[in-house]
Structure 1
Amino acid sequence: MLVGALVLLASACSGSVRQGDLQDSESVITGLTVAGQPGTAPTVRMRTPLKVDDTTSGVTVTGTGAPIQVDQLFVLELTLYDARTGKLALSTYDTGVAVAAKSSDDRLFPALSDALVGVRQGSRLVLAATAADAFATGGVPPKGVRRDDPVVVVADVVAVPPATVLKVIDGTAVTPAAGTPAPVVSAGLVAGIDFTGVRRPAKPVAQVLVQGSGPAIAAHDLVTVHFVAQRSRQHDPFEDTFFKEPEQVAIGAGTAPAAWDQLLVGVHRGSRLVLYGPDGNGMIAWVVDVLGVS
């Protein structure tokens, strides 16, 4: 998987990075051209073997969203080429699974993490990295790429944290279908889930309980949520954010439960819904309040 390969790259050293050499240009270094718009796989042309003397980055398309900040979660579509051969090595556009990361964690190699700080949502960053910056100190190259090969990375900034986050949901109550798990509310906060009268479904199901009117969640968005998670065989939740700070969750990045990736797309900010599905011989359910959408 691409995410796993990028994690393996993450132990690389950062080296020296020249940022913004060719802002708003489609050529980052001599012999390399990257065309296209964020949201679609890039068209990359290079003279091979591409000579990369220093790790260099530039923004070829500038977005209008908020910039990535240090230690802030963001979502990327990533494409990686072997600069020696010009061959595509990895692409989230092919796998359909974006990458969620922070500049301070180890999911991306440091030269890429450093270059992304300050880049706005909706932008495309192109980075040509030396082999030393990509694979030194134990970094493992993806399949087909040699340890001494430089690489070209195209990073599309899909999402940063929502600019507007509600304190509480503000939608209109909806009468749920009979047999839907019900939130147990204590002091105005969801404290558990009642499975009384609920039949185990064959696949995950979503039921809106409160219909919001804010922006709708799209694939690969970052959302801010409160949620409770509970299994039908247990009396208490195994996870609950309502009594602490809400969490940021990346949709379609392989980090949320699969049911969330499938069923939260299209849900509006300000909504509350219950997601439930089979879990062994029992059921698992989440009550989710959508407070922010990137």
Structure 2
Amino acid sequence: MIRRILAPSLALLLGATLVACGDDPEGDSSSNTSGSGLADLSIEGEVGSNPEVTWDGELQADDVEVEVVTEGDGEEVEAGDSVLSHVWIGNGVTQQMAFSTYDAQTPQLFTVDEEMLSELFIQGLEGQTIGSRVAVAASAETAFGPAGNSQLGIGNKDTVVAVIDLLEQVPDGPEGAEQQAPTWAPSLVGDEEAPTGLDFSGTPKPDGELKSAYLIEGEGDAVEKGQTIVVDYLGQVYGGKKPFDESFSAQPTSFQIGVGAVVKGWDQTLVGAPVGSRVIMAIPPELGYGKQGNEGAGIKGTDTLYFVVDVLAAN
């Protein structure tokens, strides 16, 4: 609900949820000839920069192949961890790039969960260390299911190559010094680590101004315009009995900040916030969903939005 612009989810393109879904892509490009594996693929460039991939003919991989191109010195990624990563996807048969997050500098959030990611990406993340560049190859069926992935131009008999840069491990919650809540702010309901709602008892009526304050002031670097940030959040209209949206009960979310990808109140508040912070904000309608509101979320054009946001990472 926080997003003003809804883009296709990378998880939907790359995750396990597409397994066995959809029709076989037309024009299957596989020739079913024998080819090389990762050992014959050249991958150059520094972690965080667009990989330079040189193909030595058609690449085939029946089983999942994993090669650590550059080994980082950060923490080892375990099952259940969330990692901010760049990813490059190539078709081993056509020897063409199918997808990349590098050019737009929009790293994506991956949670190491077999219900969310296919085996290709699980093996590229789990057991690897932060700061690493890892190459993984597998059949299209292993990566995406029997239909391949028509959205990426990968046929059901093709081979998939992924280059994954593990940039940053996302902590479970905010990290910093607790601050006194302002008098205009509602109190949090539920677990302090994962609030379930906002209590507006005694909270003054909104005055039409954008307000924000730190409940926890993080000790990390200040968020910069254009960065991809990872957050947990909860949103509730003033006087509302329950949230209209939240991520604390599920998984964190990621998006670019300061570029119009989310409501204006978020862009104006979170740019400059130290990573590790928990921010509470009151957003007037013109900096939220405007006069039209958001009918699907039960938000009227006159509603002031209150959010609590944990800024977990930025890259």
Q: Same fold (TM over 0.5)?
A: yes
Q: Distance in 2 between matches of 1:125 and 1:136?
A: 22
1:258 aligns with 2:279: no
Per the alignment, residue 59 of structure 2 pairs with 50
Q: CA deviation at 1:247?
A: 7.5
Partner amino acid for 2:87? L
Question: What secondary structure is seen at the aligned counterpart in 1 of 2:158?
Answer: coil
Measure how far apart 1:10 and its partner are. 4.8
Matched, 1:81 2:90: yes
> What aligned pairs does 1:15-54 form with structure 2 within 5 A after superposition?
29-54=38-63
- The residue that corresponds to 1:25 in the other structure is none
The unaligned stretches of length 5 or more in structure 2 are: 1-7, 21-36, 294-300
Give the 5 Å matches for 1:220-259: 220-222=228-230, 228-232=234-238, 234-238=239-243, 249-252=252-255, 258-259=262-263
RMSD after superposition: 3.9
Give the secondary structure class of the aligned counterpart of 1:74: strand
Shift of 1:275: 5.2
Q: CA deviation at 1:41?
A: 1.7
**Cα distance, 1:128–1:170 mapped onto 2, change above 3 Å:** same
Give the one of 3, 7, 15 matched to 2:15.
7
CA distance change for structure 1 residues 59 and 221 in 2, over 3 Å: closer, same or farther? farther
Structure 1 match to 2:25: none
Bigger mean CA deviation after superposition, 184-193 or 88-97: 184-193
Is 1:154–2:150 an aligned residue pair? no
The TM-score, its normalising length taken from structure 1, stands at 0.70
1:239, distance to aligned residue in structure 2 (A): 6.2
For the 8 Å contact 1:57–1:125, the answer to whether it is kept is yes
| 2:255 alignment partner AA | G
Q: Residues 146 and 275 (structure 1 numbering): CA distance in 2 closer, same or farther, change over 3 Å?
A: farther
Query: Which of 85, 101, 118 is 1:92 aligned to?
Result: 101
Query: What CA distance in whole angstroms lies between the structure 2 residues aligned with 1:187 and 1:136?
Result: 42
Equivalent residue for 2:288?
A: 278
Contact 2:216 2:279 in 1 (8 A): yes
State whether residues 148 and 155 of structure 2, in contact with CA within 8 Å, keep that contact through their aligned partners in structure 1. no
Are the aligned partners of 2:135 and 2:162 in contact in 1 as well (CA < 8 Å)? Answer: yes
Asked if the contact 2:278/2:308 (under 8 Å) is kept, the reply is: no
CA shift, 1:157, in A, is 1.4
Q: Is the 8 A contact 2:124 2:135 kept in 1?
A: no
Change (3 A) 1:229 1:164: closer
Q: Which amino acid counterpart does residue 231 of structure 1 have in structure 2? A: V
Partner of 1:183: 185
Partner amino acid, structure 2, of 1:5: L
CA drift at 1:35:
1.2
Which residue is 1:116 aligned to?
Answer: 125
Q: Secondary structure at the match of 2:146?
A: helix
Residue 126 of structure 1 and its aligned partner are, at CA, apart by: 0.6
Distance 1:287 1:154, change over 3 A: same
- State the Cα distance separating 1:38 from its structure 2 match: 2.2
Encode CA deviations 1:247-277: one digit per residue, 9 max, x unaligned.
86243289xx934974535422355331523
User: Which of 171, 177, 180 lines up with 1:170 in the alignment?
Assistant: 177
Percentage identity across paired residues of the two chains: 20
Residue in 1 that maps onto 2:4: none
**Shift in Å at residue 84 of structure 1?**
1.3
Paired with 1:4 and 1:289, the residues of 2 have a C-alpha distance of 24
Tell whether the 8 Å contact from 1:122 to 1:156 is kept in structure 2 after alignment. yes
TM-score, structure 2 normalization? 0.66
Q: Superposed, which structure 2 residues align to 1:281-292 within 5 Å?
A: 281-282=301-302, 283-288=304-309
Match of 2:152 in 1: 143
Residue identity in the other structure for 2:79: V
Aligned residues: 260
Q: Which residue of structure 1 lines up, in the alignment, with residue 5 of structure 2? A: none
Alignment partners' CA distance in 1, 2:273 and 2:206? 26
